[in-house]
Amino acid sequence: MIIVLKSNVSDEQILNFSNLLTEKYDIKVNTWRGTHSTVLGLLGDTHLIDSEALQAKEIVESVKRVQEPYKKANRAFHPQNTVITVGNSKIGDGKLSLIAGPCSVESKEQITGIAKAVKESGAGFLRGGAFKPRTSPYAFQGLRGEGIELLLEAKKETGLPIVTEIMSIAHLDLFEDVDVIQVGARNMQNFELLKELGKTNKPILLKRGLANTVEETLMSAEYIMSQGNDRVILCERGVRTFETYTRNTLDISAIPIFKKLSHLPVVVDPSHSGGIAWLVEPLCLAAVAAGADGLIVEVHNDPAHALCDGAQSITPKMFDTLAKKLSAVKNNI
């Protein structure tokens, strides 16, 4: 970490400030004093240092991190890829993992039917929304506890591990048999939720927030990991921009960047990124080509009658065709 001090600081101020830093943190401070400005170089483990707090000090002009502010999620400290295993399914092992299923769980027939179909096409996980974050309080909020029951029934029939979203710590008991707990984009910085999930032993699929940077996403992963749960799956699902044709703008660059900065597996959600069914295929192909470990795709047997987000769902038949194309690309990069 490099700290540029203001031009008019005295030797005494610099000394006091350096002492304050070395007392509080396990670091060494090197001072380089120029004619116009003074620069402090902090050596050692700086990830515990609150750079915003330093920035506020009266004598500080600016602060520049050299190390990343996350550690457990950082590839520098964990060069090996993290592989997450759930039952017979894996994410991060070099093969392409497919997580598929409807936006909302609607009925036993629906979820079991889709589960069987996507398993047949090669999906390793079943997704389905039981608790649904909706912009309007008047929109369908999901079957909630009942939805989780139906997912578990579909799991029993197909053996597919299930992935479903949690919206509140208060519902944690209901997730006891859920295989992978999803944190939605709107809750990516719900830090109290992240800390609680860090105390569980479940893999957490963490979606990047609509306006969150790659670094902030890794800091949210660090929240979970700092509590002892190392099994985090990062999910790129598009960020909010000025473009209105798509619901969000898929940040394809985030895939190789996450892979470089972190050892955690990365999946991509093409359905929510684009919000348009015919975009799912090209976005999936692009994500795989860019190095994604997996995809989480909305599949519905009857998109036009889906209770939510039907506009972006594809049919089981389209998913089957897609899975074949994805294998071809995966095998050729």
> Nearest approach, Cβ of 90 to a copy of itself (angstroms)?
22
Q: Minimum distance between the CB of residue 54 and a copy of itself, rounded to whole angstroms?
A: 9
Identify which of residues 145 and 282 has a Cβ nearer to a copy of itself in the complex: 282
Nearer to a copy of itself, 34 or 79 (CB): 34
Give the nearest distance from C-beta 233 to a copy of itself in angstroms: 18
**Inter-CA distances, 133 with 110, 127, 174, Å:** 20, 15, 17
Q: Render 200-245 in DSSP notation, one character per residue.
A: S-S-EEEEPPTT--HHHHHHHHHHHHHTT---EEEEE--B--S--S
Between 53 and 159, name the residue whose CB sits nearer to a copy of itself. Answer: 53
Pick between residue 200 and residue 226 the one whose CB is nearest to a copy of itself. Answer: 226
Per this entry, what is the length of the chain?
A: 333
Q: Which is nearer to a copy of itself, 156 or 325 (CB)?
A: 325
Q: How far is the CB of 84 from a copy of itself (least distance, A)?
A: 21
Q: Please state at what angle helix 316-330 crosses helix 108-120, rounded to 10 degrees.
A: 30
**Which parts of 108-238 fold into alpha helices (H)?**
108-120, 145-158, 191-198, 214-226
Query: Shortest Cβ distance from residue 251 to a copy of itself (Å)?
Result: 5
Contact 281, 325 (CB under 8 A): yes
Q: In the bound complex, what is the minimum distance in angstroms from residue 230's beta carbon to a copy of itself?
A: 14
Which of these, 111, 95, 87, 108, lies nearest to 179 by C-alpha position? 87
Work out how close the CB of 160 gets to a copy of itself at its nearest, in angstroms, rounded to a whole number. Answer: 25
Helices 316-330 & 277-289 angle (0-180, nearest 10): 20
Angle between helices 191-198 and 214-226 (to 10 degrees): 50
Nearest to a copy of itself of 128, 161 (CB atom)? 128
One-letter identity of residue 193: L
- In degrees, rounded to 5, the angle at the alpha carbon of residue 120 between the alpha carbons of residues 116 and 124 is 85
Say if residues 100 and 297 touch (Cβ distance below 8 Å).
yes
Q: Which is nearer to a copy of itself, 2 or 14 (by Cβ)?
A: 2
Q: How far is the CB of 294 from a copy of itself (least distance, A)?
A: 16
Comparing C-alpha atoms, which of 198, 237, 197, 243 is closest to residue 217?
237
Q: Which residues contact 252 (CB under 8 A, 6 or more apart)?
A: 236, 286, 287, 290
Cβ-based nearer residue to a copy of itself, 79 or 137: 137
